């Protein structure tokens, strides 16, 4: 699941649908964003990843979390709330992936501390654009101090 | 809800019971009042009769007595029954006629007493002569008479009162005897002067016969009045029972109506929810279908000879087209389902501002259609601005697409106007296109109805959404002929909920 690369940026994608995960990977590839993409299936796994529990003992701390809102076990909202309550994790920017521009979801995400949101692709061009902007913003403009 | 209904029934009936109790009370009071009044009138009538009788007798007594007094007494033959009056000390009390017949002078009191005693049967109610200064002790006043005589000394001359004698009711009248010259013949020695009150003549009429009459009349009245009273009560109670039955029936039908209307709206809500969930779940694979079709096309860029192959290109095109169409359909269904819910606060919105925003949002289409929009001042509407915007966007978009003039050279003219009408605001969006035949004007408001076949980028749900928005505000939307020969869509938004 890891695209090894010289670029040190790590992105954690929390997404249960492989087809959508694949779309994100394709968009990242197309937009020439150089990063390591880590994929987990749901919120519970994502927390294990972040806290380096179980199989994720050697997991890096991601620079960005891309979060799907609708997942089994722990859904996106619960995960987001949990991350923002944890002082060790709350500094990691979380960008929400939504299926629609349902205002309710967007407002809720921002309330819970999401750094931004991307509407899931209906049009690949748009999605690649969005990912590229993400790249510009989070990896260049709002570059965070790197923790080791 | 069941609970509320029970409470309603309780309060409805208690109001009915209160009204019934009030009616019964009023009925009892009016019948009672009538009886009371009738007894009062009958008694008064009886008393007047008694007063009249007592006055007649009193006057007769007085006349008779005055006649005796005016003669200074009368001489009558002495016999066993009529002895000289031992209390009368006047000269020539006893005289003899030349033929030797003995006569004695009867003073008025004596005459009266004898008449009353001897002819009591015909005389009827006995009178009574009395005085505080008696000559004959037999004439002593009783308690009531004594009181009256004392009041004569205060200046009263005649007293009539209802009083009891031996526990029986009587109307008693007593008149003063004022000393006249004729009186002094006998009473001068008692120290009387002319004008002094000598004593009184009293008459007592027993009231019992009069009262018996009254009571008999009332007893006769009791039966019919009682019957009327019972009838009235029965009528009131019957009426109450009927009203109660009617209320029960009405409540039962209201309850079942509420129940079925609640069931209908629940079923409707269930169906909407089902459609909503279904559309939501359909959207996911639809979206991916679209995305992956595009991804596939991009991937094929690496194999130009494959991509150029007709057998690849055509399926790919149809795949893309239908993925897009499917996405539009599902999105339109979602928009349609959501159209009856406000998005944002429902308030008084400036329609001019909302129209300006809608026009701006459609600026690309305006340019593409080379259309001229002329808007007149619009009245405000009570709705959320988002959906008012949707309404204008849908109707303007429709006008761009379907309102193109037949003459390709002519500039499409789109007019927006509106006015207030009572408590609603009316808006019109008209175009200069070919218009819509009357028989299709209702059909175009159906879901996925379009008169121009598939394509053109519209699923044909715009007017259905517009209608759902307007009807959720209890308004109306319809199509008329435009003055310029095109289509005119009219919609009305009432102020109330």
Domain ranges, ordered by start, for chain A: 10-140
8 Å CB contact between B68 and B180: no
Contact B431, B403 (CB under 8 A): yes
Contact criterion met (CB < 8 Å) for A124 and B294: yes
Residue B89 pLDDT level (bands cut at 50, 70, 90): confident
Instruction: Choose the closest CB to A122 out of B298, B327, B343.
Output: B327
Fold assignment, A10-140? Rossmann fold (3.40.50)
What is the C-alpha to C-alpha distance for residues A121 and A138, in angstroms, rounded to an integer? 20
Helix (H, G, I), strand (E, B) or coil at B163: strand
Pairing of strands B197-206, B127-130: antiparallel
Domain that holds residue B439: 347-494
Out of A46-50, B65-69, B201-205, B401-405, the most confident range is A46-50
Kindly report, residue by residue over B467-478, the tens digit of the pLDDT.
999 999 999 999
C-alpha radius of gyration, chain B, whole number:
57
Cβ contact, residue pair A23, B288, below 8 Å: yes
What confidence tier does B3 reach under pLDDT thresholds 50, 70, 90? very low
Closest CA to B113 of B144, B91, B88, B82: B82
Q: What are B125's two structure tokens?
A: 């109610």
**pLDDT band for position B181 (cuts 50, 70, 90):** confident
**pLDDT on residue B425:** 95
CB contact under 8 A, B287 and A123: no
In this structure, the strands spanning B197-206 and B381-383 are unpaired
Q: Does a structural domain hold residue B252?
A: no
State both tokens at B452.
């121009």
Minimal Cα distance from B293: which residue of A? A124
Half-sphere exposure of B66 (CA within 13 A, CB side): 10
The answer as to whether B30 is a domain residue is yes
User: What's the confidence (pLDDT) of residue A144?
Assistant: 44
Q: Which residues contact B56 (CB under 8 A, 6 or more apart)?
A: none
Q: Quick one: DSSP state of residue A138?
A: I
Q: Do strands B94-96 and B102-106 pair parallel, antiparallel, or not at all (unpaired)?
A: antiparallel
* Cβ atoms within 10 Å, residue B244: 15
pLDDT for the residue B199: 81
A120 touches chain B (CB under 8 A): yes
Q: Which of B18-22, B94-98, B116-120, B334-338 has the lowest mean pLDDT?
A: B116-120
Instruction: With beta carbons less than 8 A apart as the criterion, state whether B433 and B405 touch.
Output: yes
> Does any domain span residue B220?
no
B284 to A103: CB separation less than 8 angstroms, yes or no? no
Provide the pLDDT for residue B458: 53
Chain mean pLDDT for chain B: 85
pLDDT tops 60 at residue B235: yes
All residues of chain B having their beta carbon less than 8 Å from the beta carbon of residue A17 are: 284
User: How many CB pairs below 8 Å do chains A and B form together?
Assistant: 32
Confidence of residue B357 (pLDDT cuts 50, 70, 90): very high
Q: Give the Å distances, CA to CA, from A104 to A108, B215, B282, B328.
A: 6, 90, 20, 22
CATH of the domain at B369: 3.30.565.10
Q: What is the pLDDT of residue A3?
A: 42
CB contact under 8 A, A19 and B327: no
B223 belongs to a structural domain: no
- Show which of B190, B206, B222 is a domain's final residue: B206
pLDDT at residue B329 greater than cutoff 80: yes
> Tell me: the pLDDT tens digits for A106-138?
777 788 888 877 777 667 777 778 777 776 666
Per-residue pLDDT tens for B18-28?
Answer: 889 999 999 99
Mean pLDDT of the B230-250 span: 92
Q: What angle in degrees, to the nearest 10, is found between the helix axes of A124-136 and A18-30? A: 60
| B chain contacts of residue A124, beta-carbon cutoff 8 Å | 291, 294-295, 298
Rounded (to 5) percent helix, strand, coil in chain A: 40, 15, 40
The answer on pLDDT for B359 being more than 90 is yes
Q: How far apart are CA B406 and CA B404, in angstroms?
A: 6
Mark which of B186, B206, B226 sits at the end of a domain: B206
pLDDT tens digits for B393-414? 999 998 888 888 887 788 888 9
| Closest approach of A148 to chain B, Cα-based (Å) | 37
Question: What is the pLDDT of chain A when averaged over all its residues?
Answer: 77
Query: Which tokens hold the place of B14?
Result: 């208690």
Q: Is B16 within the bounds of a domain?
A: yes
Q: Convert the pLDDT of each residue in B54-80 to its tens digit.
A: 888 888 878 888 888 888 889 999 988
Mean pLDDT for B105-122 is 81
Residue A21 contacts B, CB cutoff 8 Å: no
Q: What pLDDT does B384 receive?
A: 93
Q: What per-residue confidence (pLDDT) applies to B387?
A: 94
Check residue B450 and give its pLDDT.
Answer: 60
**Of B158, B175, B206, which closes a domain?**
B206
CB contact under 8 A, B283 and A99: yes
Q: For residue B219, tell me if it sits in a domain.
A: no
| Structural domains counted in chain B | 2
The strands making up B127-130's β-sheet, listed across from edge to edge, are B127-130, B197-206, B168-178, B158-165
């Amino acid at each position: 699941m890891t695209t090894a690369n010289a670029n040190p940026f790590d992105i954690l994608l929390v997404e249960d649908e492989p087809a959508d995960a694949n779309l994100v990977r394709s968009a990242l590839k197309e937009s020439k964003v150089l990063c390591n993409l880590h994929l987990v299936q749901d919120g519970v796994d994502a927390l294990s990843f972040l806290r380096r529990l179980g199989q994720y003992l050697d997991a890096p701390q991601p620079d960005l979390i891309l979060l799907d809102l609708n997942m089994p076990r722990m859904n996106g909202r619960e995960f987001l709330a949990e991350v923002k309550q944890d002082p060790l994790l709350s500094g990691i920017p979380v960008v929400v992936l939504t299926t629609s521009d349902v205002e309710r979801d967007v407002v809720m995400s921002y309330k819970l501390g999401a750094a931004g949101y991307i509407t899931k692709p209906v049009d690949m061009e748009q999605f690649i654009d969005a990912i590229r902007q993400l790249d510009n913003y989070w990896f260049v403009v709002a570059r965070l101090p790197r923790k080791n | 809800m069941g609970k509320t209904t029970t409470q309603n029934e309780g309060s409805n009936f208690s109001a009915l019971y209160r009204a019934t109790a009030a009616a019964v009370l009023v009925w009892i009071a009016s019948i009672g009042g009538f009886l009371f009044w009738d007894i009062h009138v009958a008694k008064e009538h009886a008393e007047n009769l008694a007063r009249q009788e007592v006055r007649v007798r009193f006057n007769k007594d007085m006349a008779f007595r005055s006649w005796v007094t005016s003669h200074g007494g009368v001489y009558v033959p002495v016999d066993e029954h009529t002895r000289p009056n031992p209390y009368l000390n006047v000269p020539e009390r006893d005289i003899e006629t030349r033929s030797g017949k003995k006569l004695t002078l009867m003073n008025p009191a004596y005459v009266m007493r004898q008449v009353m005693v001897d002819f009591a049967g015909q005389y009827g109610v006995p009178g009574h002569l009395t005085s505080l200064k008696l000559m004959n002790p037999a004439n002593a006043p009783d308690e009531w008479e004594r009181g009256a005589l004392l009041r004569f000394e205060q200046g009263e001359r005649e007293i009539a009162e209802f009083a009891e004698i031996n526990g029986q009711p009587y109307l008693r009248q007593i008149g003063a005897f004022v000393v006249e010259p004729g009186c002094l013949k006998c009473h001068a020695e008692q120290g009387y002067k002319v004008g002094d009150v000598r004593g009184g003549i009293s008459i007592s009429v027993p009231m019992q016969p009069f009262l018996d009459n009254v009571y008999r009349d009332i007893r006769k009245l009791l039966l019919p009045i009682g019957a009327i009273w019972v009838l009235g009560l029965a009528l009131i109670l019957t009426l109450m029972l009927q009203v109660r039955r009617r209320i029960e029936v009405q409540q039962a039908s209201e309850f079942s109506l509420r129940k079925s209307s609640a069931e209908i709206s629940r079923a409707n809500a269930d169906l909407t929810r089902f459609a909503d969930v279904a559309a939501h779940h359909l959207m996911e694979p639809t979206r991916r279908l679209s995305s992956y079709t595009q991804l596939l096309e991009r991937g094929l860029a690496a194999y130009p000879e494959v991509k150029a192959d007709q057998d690849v290109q055509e399926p790919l095109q149809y795949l893309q087209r239908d993925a897009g169409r499917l996405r539009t359909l599902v999105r339109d269904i979602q928009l349609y389902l959501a159209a009856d819910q406000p998005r944002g606060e429902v308030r008084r919105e400036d329609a001019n501002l909302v129209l300006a925003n809608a026009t701006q949002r459609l600026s690309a289409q305006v340019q593409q259609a080379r259309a001229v929009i002329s808007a007149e001042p619009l009245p405000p509407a009570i709705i959320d601005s988002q959906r008012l915007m949707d309404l204008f966007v849908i109707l303007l978009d429709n006008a761009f697409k379907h309102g193109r003039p037949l003459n390709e050279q002519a500039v499409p003219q789109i007019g927006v106007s509106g006015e207030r009408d009572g408590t609603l605001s009316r808006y019109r969006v008209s175009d200069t296109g070919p218009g819509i035949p009357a028989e299709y004007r209702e059909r175009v408001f159906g879901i996925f109805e379009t008169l121009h076949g598939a394509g053109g980028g519209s699923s044909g749900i715009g007017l259905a959404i517009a209608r759902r928005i307007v009807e959720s505000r209890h308004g109306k939307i319809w199509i008329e002929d435009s003055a310029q020969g095109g289509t005119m869509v009219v919609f009305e938004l009432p102020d109330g909920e």
